[in-house]
Amino acid sequence: MAKLKDKHVVIGLGKTGLSCVRFLKRLGCDVAVIDTRSEPPGREELEQAYSDVKLYCGELDQFDLSKARELVVSPGIAIQTPAIAKAVAAGVPCSGDVELFAKSVAAPVIAVTGSNGKSTVVSIIGKALEALGYNVCVAGNIGLPVLDALSSAIDVDVWVLELSSFQLETTYSLRAKVAVNLNVTEDHMDRYGSLDEYAMAKQRIFEGCEAAVYWLEDHRSKPIQGARTQLPFGGDAATHGRFYVNTETQPWAVMDGTRQVLSAEELHIRGGHNLLNVAACLTVLAEFTAGHYEKALPAIKQFSGLPHRCQWVADIDGVTWFNDSKGTNVGSTVAALNGLEGGVKGRLFLIAGGEGKGADFAPLADAAQGRVSEVVVYGRDAQLIHNSLSRVVPVQQVETMQQAVSLIRGKAVAGDVVLFSPACASFDQFRNYEDRGYQFVAAVKGDR
C-alpha cells in the first residue's frame, strides 16, 4: 500500500503499541498503525490523541510493508510472520519498543529474563536499590511499557527491566550493565519450534552486556557467547555460585559463600523457588554495587510478593486459598507446588486450565504425583491437562474457573489448601492473567 511508504509502521496496537506511537510522534515521525484485530484495544485512545495516525485493521498479508521506513513490532506478533519477514528481506528495519528504548537511554540497565520469576526478581531488585539510595525505574514486561517509562521518569540512576523472549526478538542495541537469565522451561511452544529455539531468543539478553547472571543448574540459561563477567547463582553445597540456597539447614537459608545471609523464616515470600530468586537478586546487587548489598537486606526481607503470584487470598473455614494466576506455564505451576511443600497440613487441591500454548503437561503430572490430592481443570485445554494428570491424581473437569472454585469449596475441609495456578494463558476466558486472578479472588470471597 502506497499509504505506508516512508512511514514508521507500528504493528499491533494495545498498551505497547500505543507507547510506541507516543514515542515516535514525540520524535516527529510519520506514523501508521496496523492491527489484525477489527477492534484492537487502544483504538479509541489512539483516535482521540493522534487523529493524524491512520489505523489499518486486517491480516498482515494484505499489506505491502516493503516500502515502510521502519517496522515497530509489538511483542505479541512474531517477526517470522511472512509479511514482516518479506519487508525485512527487502531491507526495512524491524525493531520493538525495547530497541527504541535502548537507543535512547544513557543510565545503566539491569535486564532480567527467564521463563519464571522475572517479575518477582525485578521487583526485589528495584526495592533493594531504592533502599541503597538509587533512583530506580522498574519497567518492561512487568506492566509499565519502557517507552512510557522513558518519557515520564526523571533523573533515573538505574533502569531495571523485565524482558520477555518476544521483546528480545526485536532488540539489538541493549547493552545491559547486568543481564540475567533466571531459567528456561517450556513456554510459548505455539510460537517457537522447539525449546532450544525459545532458549536462543532469551540468549539475546546477554549480547553486549558487562556481566551475565545465570542459574548454575540450568544449562540453557548460561550465556553461550562469552560475557566479560559470568556470575552463576544457585547450586548445592558442593558446587554453587557465590549466592545459593542451603537446603541442609532448617529452615533453609540463602548463603553468601559460607556465610548465611538470611533464612526462609525472615522472608515474607514463601518457597524454595523464592529463596533461589533472592539468591539471583543478591548476585545482581553484589555486582552492581561492588559488594555493598547488606543495607538492602531489610528491604528484601520486607518484600511481600506480587499480586497473582502465589498470593494468599483467604482462610475460610480453615481452608487456605492461594492465587497464582500469573502461573501461565507449566514451569510456573511446578514452582508454585514446590513452594507450598511443607506448608500443607491437610490435602492440596489444584485448579488449572486455559490456553496451554502447545505445552507438554507431563512435568506438571510429575510435580503433582504424591503431592496434590485432587485437580480440577477448566477452559479450552482442560482435556489435555486431564489426559496428562489423570494417570497420577484424581482429576475433575468443569467449564469455568468459577465452577472449579464451587466444586472444591464443597470438598475442602479445615487444614486443606487450594492453589489456583493455571499453567496456561488466560485468553480463552479472561482479558489477561490479572483479570483472571481478580475473578478468582472474587469467586473465593463471594457467596459461599
Q: Residue 189: name the closest of 177, 176, 199 by CA.
A: 199
Is 246 one of the annotated active-site residues of the chain?
Answer: no
Residue 265 is predicted with a pLDDT of: 86
Q: What is the mean pLDDT of residues 72-99?
A: 96
* Strand ranges of the sheet holding 178-181, from the earlier edge strand across to the other edge: 136-140, 158-162, 109-113, 178-181, 211-215, 229-233
- Is the pLDDT at 343 greater than 80? The verdict is no
- Is the pLDDT at 104 greater than 70? The verdict is yes
Helix (H, G, I), strand (E, B) or coil at 63: coil
Q: What is the mean pLDDT of residues 263-271?
A: 86
The structural architecture, per CATH, of the domain 100-302 is 3-Layer(aba) Sandwich (3.40)
The rounded distance, in Å, linking the Cα atoms of 236 and 247 is 8
CB contact at 8 A, 94 and 167: no
For the ranges 78-87, 170-179, 205-214, 330-339, the lowest mean pLDDT is seen at 330-339
Note the pLDDT tens digit of each residue in 232-243.
Answer: 999 998 999 999
Q: Which of 7, 8, 116, 141 is catalytic?
A: 141
Residue 68 is predicted with a pLDDT of: 97
Note the pLDDT tens digit of each residue in 187-232.
Answer: 888 899 999 999 999 999 999 999 999 999 999 999 998 788 999 9
Residue 2 is predicted with a pLDDT of: 55
Q: Which of 7, 8, 118, 308 is catalytic?
A: 118
All structural domains of the chain with their residue ranges: 2-95, 100-302, 311-445
Note the pLDDT tens digit of each residue in 287-340.
Answer: 999 989 999 999 999 997 888 888 888 899 999 999 999 999 999 999 899 888
Q: What is the mean pLDDT of residues 63-81?
A: 95
Q: Residue 360: name the closest of 447, 430, 423 by CA.
A: 423
For the ranges 84-88, 267-271, 361-365, the lowest mean pLDDT is seen at 267-271
Confidence at 342, pLDDT banded by 50, 70, 90: low
- The reported pTM is 0.82
**Got the DSSP string for 132-181?**
TT--EEEEETTSS-HHHHHHH--S-SEEEEE--HHHHHT--S---SEEEE
Is 3 one of the annotated active-site residues of the chain?
Answer: no
CATH class of segment(s) 2-95: alpha beta
Residues paired with 215 in a beta bridge: 233
Q: Residue 13: name the closest of 51, 46, 62 by CA.
A: 46
Q: Which of 188, 240, 308, 326 is catalytic?
A: 188
Q: Given the DSSP bridges, would you call strands 243-246 and 253-256 parallel, antiparallel or unpaired?
A: antiparallel
CB contact at 8 A, 247 and 240: no
Residue 189 is predicted with a pLDDT of: 83
Note the pLDDT tens digit of each residue in 399-421.
Answer: 999 999 999 999 999 999 999 99
Mean of the per-residue pLDDT values of the chain? 94
The rounded distance, in Å, linking the Cα atoms of 98 and 76 is 14
Q: What contacts 407, CB < 8 A, 6 or more positions away?
A: 376, 396, 398
Residue holding cell 516500502? Answer: 67
Domain 311-445 has CATH 3.90.190.20: yes
| 64, three cell numbers | 505491502
What is the largest distance, in Å, between two alpha-carbon atoms of the chain? Answer: 68
Residue 273 is predicted with a pLDDT of: 87
- Is the pLDDT at 83 greater than 50? The verdict is yes
Note the pLDDT tens digit of each residue in 25-38.
Answer: 999 999 999 999 99
CATH topology agreement for domains 2-95 and 100-302: no
Note the pLDDT tens digit of each residue in 435-448.
Answer: 999 999 999 998 44
Note the pLDDT tens digit of each residue in 121-141.
Answer: 999 999 999 999 999 999 999
CB contact at 8 A, 353 and 442: no
Is 183 one of the annotated active-site residues of the chain?
Answer: no
Note the pLDDT tens digit of each residue in 146-160.
Answer: 999 999 988 999 999
The rounded distance, in Å, linking the Cα atoms of 38 and 409 is 40
Helix (H, G, I), strand (E, B) or coil at 232: strand
